[in-house]
Amino acid sequence: MSKLTLGTHPFLLGFDQLERLAERTAKSENGYPPYNIEQTSDHAFRITLAVAGFAEDDLTLTVEDRQLVVRGKQADDSDGRVFLHRGIAARQFQRTFLLADGVEVASAALANGLLHVDLKRSEPDRIVQSIEIKKG
C-alpha cells in the first residue's frame, strides 16, 4: 500500500507545489526575529515583527514570487567602541512569509521597535464557467 501525499492525492490536482512550499518553509524557520500574525478582520491580517534597534533604512520589504520577504541589516557602528559585554546582537535577518493568491501587502509601519505589515485579501471572483463538450 502506497502512501498518498498532498501532491499525489487524486482529488487535489495541481497542488504538488504546495507540499514543496510547506517543506521549504519548515526548513527555513530560525526563530529570529520573533513575530506575531493576527487576523484584524475577515479579509485582513497583520504581521508584527520585533525589530528593536533597526531603523526604517535598515529594513526592506519585498514581494518576490508570492512571498513577502522582510530583510534587516544594520550598519556596524562599533568602530572605536570598547564593549565590556555585548549582549545586543546587531545581526542581519531575512524572514519569509508565503502569501496566498489574492493576498497583498496593504501597508507597513515601524513603531516602538515593532514592524507592522498589514495584509489584505481581495474577494475572489465567484465565476461559474461552462465547458462545452465537443463531439469526437
pLDDT at site 8: 63
Spatial contact of 94 and 69, defined as CB atoms under 8 Å apart: yes
Evaluate whether residue 10 is within a structural domain.
no
Please state whether the predicted TM-score (pTM) of the whole model is above 0.75. no
Domain contains 63: yes
Domain with residue 89: its CATH number is 2.60.40.790
**So what's the pLDDT on residue 2?**
57
pLDDT of residue 35: 96
Mean pLDDT (10-residue bins), the chain, 136 residues: 61 70 64 93 95 93 93 84 82 90 94 96 76 81
Partners of 70 in the beta sheet? 61, 95
Domain of 109 in residue numbering reads as 32-75+85-121
Which DSSP helix (H) or strand (E) runs through 1?
Answer: none
Tally of CB atoms within 10 A around 64 = 8
Asked if residue 4 belongs to a domain, the reply is: no
Residue 91 lies in a domain: yes
Neighbour tally for 54: CB within 10 Å = 20
User: Is 69 domain-assigned?
Assistant: yes
Q: Does 51 map to a domain?
A: yes
Q: How many domains does the chain have?
A: 1
Residue 61 near residue 117 (C-beta atoms within 8 A):
yes
**Could you please report the per-residue DSSP string of 26-83?**
HHT----S-EEEEEEETTEEEEEEE-TT--GGGEEEEEETTEEEEEE------TT---
Element (H, E) at 116: strand 114-121
Q: What is the pLDDT of residue 109?
A: 96
Which pLDDT does position 88 carry in this prediction?
A: 76
26 belongs to a structural domain:
no
Query: Residue 25 domain-assigned?
Result: no
Compute the distance between CA of residue 28 and CA of residue 65 in angstroms, rounded to an integer: 16
